[in-house]
Amino acid sequence: MPTATDLVTDLPADFEVFGQAVATSMADLLGGTSGQILAKNSNTDMDFVWVTNDVGDITAVTAGTGISGGGTSGAVTITNSMATEITAKADLIVGTGSATFDNLAVGANGTVLTADSTVSPTGLKWATPASGSFNTGFASVSTSESTTSTSYANLATTLSTTVTTGTKALVIITAAFQNGATANVESYASFGVTGATTVAASDTYSTYFFSASSSNLAGNASGSWVLTGLTAGSNVFTAKYKSQSGVASAFKNRTISVVDLGS
């Protein structure tokens, strides 16, 4: 092939030599088949080779549960079938079996989602919630009445309330205490249970008033307890009173409240 300093003496022949050199250096660009691409064969200049296009190792996209679409060639599309099942605001997607699901439309305002195996295919329904309720009892006596008993007893007017309970109940008793003109007097108020359950009045469930002075002292006291271990059913809660020293202790504005706490 002529160089830049060669004297051109035979132009046609020189062009032929030049063309042959170009054809030799570009020989690797020749050939190849449809779909092949040109790749470097080494670090040598103009050293190429035709190769089959490397398409990676993903040969197919297969749709699994909840997905549709896919394919084995070209551009493929997959769709979230659960998403397309939603057609309106607040729709729920609910399983109906192994790898199956369905749309559950929103219920009416104020309804709650409720399990119901008779409803096909979801086993769920929207229902009006049951109204919550619990049993309570209350009784009061305002008259001042006294006792000298050193063990728990009723006063002249029995203070009690009957409540249908589960195995637990909240019991609250209140009273205005008056110990008279005697020093170091303790007055106690408690409660007992009869009916389905028997619980004796005791200091465990009591409130009391203590006067260290011989002045005619009075005061209000209350106590509340969660009573457990009841026998479910109709239980009678009765307030009971005593004087620790046997000196007359007076009680007025007495109340007893009971709230069923279920089981």
pLDDT value at position 214? 61
| Type of residue at 200 | A
pLDDT value at position 27? 63
pLDDT value at position 132? 66
pLDDT value at position 189? 96
Can you tell me the distance from the alpha carbon of 156 to that of 260, in angstroms, rounded to the nearest whole number?
A: 27
Residue 153 phi, psi dihedral angles, 5° rounding: -150, 165
Low-confidence ranges of the chain (pLDDT < 50): none
Q: Angle CA(49)–CA(53)–CA(58) in degrees, nearest 5?
A: 150
Q: 85-96 pLDDT, tens per residue? A: 888 999 998 989
pLDDT value at position 21? 53
Terminal-residue alpha carbon distance, the chain: 107
pLDDT value at position 263? 85
pLDDT value at position 82? 83
Q: What would the two tokens of residue 122 be? A: 């979801």
Residue 228 contacts residue 171 (beta carbons within 8 Å): no
